[in-house]
Chain A
Amino acid sequence: MGSYFHYTIINFFEKILTNCDKVTNYNVIEKNDFLVYSIERNHPYHSFNVYLTDSYLFTLSDYYNKPKHLKANDFIYLPAPQQNCSNEVYEQANFDSIYIGKANFLVKFLNSTLDEIN
């Protein structure tokens, strides 16, 4: 799958986390085959994992090969503006209660409880 990200992308992502007052801590939990962050938030906001993908178009094949850390209520982040994912992925992710999106959705997700998002 590859997980090469330019430093500006990582900086932008970490800036989003740092600027969010609901986030209390974050750590990289995987960085070899995939890049996965663990995000801790204040109560009543749930803690979750974020998977950063560099796929140009995130397909079902990418989705089924996602990191094992990713469970229900986690997030797949598409960091570059030109990235996208197929409709089938949206449906499958929705079925698995995994959220997927770009920066604007990530910011909304970070500032909301699961009830508010759903």
Chain B
Amino acid sequence: MFEKLFDYIFEKILDKFVGFLVASGVLILINSLWINITFFRILALSLFIILSISIFALYKLFKINKYLKQKIETAEVNSYQDLCIRINNLLYQNNKLFKKFSPYDENNRQNSLIEDITLWHATQEERMSPNNKKIKNFIENYMDLIPSSDKVLFEKMLDHIFAFEKHLQDRTIDYSKNQFPKDFVELIKTKCNDINILEQEKISKWIKINFKKKNIPVQNYFFFGSILENYYRFISDIDVLIKYNEEDKSDIRAISQKIKLLEKYFEKKFNKKLHISAFSQLENTEFKDFLKSMNTYKEII
């Protein structure tokens, strides 16, 4: 409502008003040079003009921001895969929130941190529900791009979003018959398999060359996290998991320092943070458990 009003004021009134202000300001200024010149009058008029230009610049900035936001969130969806990637990004964000705050997540069940259910309810209402609404808009706006064979699952997701919203409005409403459709997530994931292929190749090449240069005895490298889930231009961190073959603690310490340096070099080159989860030979059990606990990962070959 506020945004619409703001937009209306800017679009319908302010454009002409600013033009009028600037024109009249310039006219009065010129006039004041001929008749009764005073320092204060010129100063006041100058401020008047500066103010007009500032309002105009703000308006343009507002328009540019709005355009960019729209472009990122809704525009450019021109294929079925593109649509799946956009939805996948939102599902990924919601999944991260579920893992962090839900008392129903397996890891959280035994954790005393999740004693307070209000944080989970706030997460559902303030952070997951807006993402769901975006998913709903994507599906409804681009229904034509969805092949008829997959439409059933998309409709299942829409039913879930509807029931979930009703449940948030009234917690006594049971939505167990419209629970989160895991088969929808699986479908979306399969459609996003080859996301960021070129960037992944570039990064894996850089990682392998530089780890070799630093004599770090890496056994396995894996990508995980957002590089497998979202468009490269939208992500700020690259998550890489490595398992290296070292048991001596003084050597592990030296390797850790090298890894930290490589993270810094990476950020300079790619303008994104590299987050390496590095496991030594001493942490082999934890490495295997960690790999098992992840939804998606991809070995760097």
Q: Chain B residues with Cβ under 8 A from A2's Cβ? A: 237, 273, 275
Instruction: Tell me if B114 and A81 are in contact (CB < 8 A).
Output: yes
Q: Chain A residues with Cβ under 8 A from B237's Cβ? A: 2, 4
Q: Contacts A8-B119, A102-B111, A103-B112 hold; do A59 and B257 have CB atoms under 8 A apart?
A: no
A8 to B101, CA, bound (A): 10
Q: List which A50-88 residues lie within 8 A (CB) of chain B.
A: 55-57, 59-65, 80-82, 86-88
Q: Chain A residues with Cβ under 8 A from B114's Cβ? A: 81
A54 to B275, CA, bound (A): 10
Q: Contacts A1-B275, A57-B277, A82-B99 hold; do A104 and B283 have CB atoms under 8 A apart?
A: no
Q: Chain B residues with Cβ under 8 A from A8's Cβ? A: 119, 122-123
Q: Chain B residues with Cβ under 8 A from A65's Cβ? A: 256-257, 259-260
Q: Contacts A60-B256, A61-B252, A65-B257 hold; do A80 and B100 have CB atoms under 8 A apart?
A: yes
Instruction: Kindly report which residue of chain B lies nearest to residue A87, judged by CB atoms.
Output: B286
Instruction: Tell me if A103 and B113 are in contact (CB < 8 A).
Output: yes
Q: Contacts A81-B100, A88-B283 hold; do A64 and B277 have CB atoms under 8 A apart?
A: no
Instruction: Tell me if A86 and B108 are in contact (CB < 8 A).
Output: no
Instruction: Tell me if B278 and A59 are in contact (CB < 8 A).
Output: yes
Instruction: Tell me if A102 and B113 are in contact (CB < 8 A).
Output: yes
Q: How far is the CB of A30 from chain B (nearest CB, A)?
A: 15
Q: Which of B99, B273, B277 has the most CB of A within 10 A?
A: B277
Q: Contacts A61-B255, A81-B108 hold; do A88 and B278 have CB atoms under 8 A apart?
A: no
Instruction: Tell me if A82 and B108 are in contact (CB < 8 A).
Output: yes
Could you tell me the dominant secondary structure of chain B's interface residues?
helix
Instruction: Tell me if A57 and B286 are in contact (CB < 8 A).
Output: yes
Query: Is A92 engaged at the interface, CB distance under 8 Å to the other chain?
Result: yes
A64 to B285, CA, bound (A): 19
Instruction: Tell me if A81 and B257 are in contact (CB < 8 A).
Output: no
Instruction: Tell me if A88 and B113 are in contact (CB < 8 A).
Output: no
27 sample A-B contacts, Cβ–Cβ < 8 Å, listed by A number:
A1-B260, A1-B263, A2-B273, A56-B277, A57-B286, A59-B278, A59-B283, A60-B249, A60-B283, A61-B252, A61-B256, A61-B259, A61-B278, A65-B259, A81-B100, A81-B101, A81-B107, A81-B108, A82-B99, A82-B108, A86-B282, A86-B283, A87-B283, A87-B286, A88-B280, A92-B249, A104-B113
Q: Using CB atoms and an 8 Å cutoff, list the residues of chain A in contact with chain B.
A: 1-2, 4, 8, 12, 55-57, 59-65, 80-82, 86-88, 92, 102-104
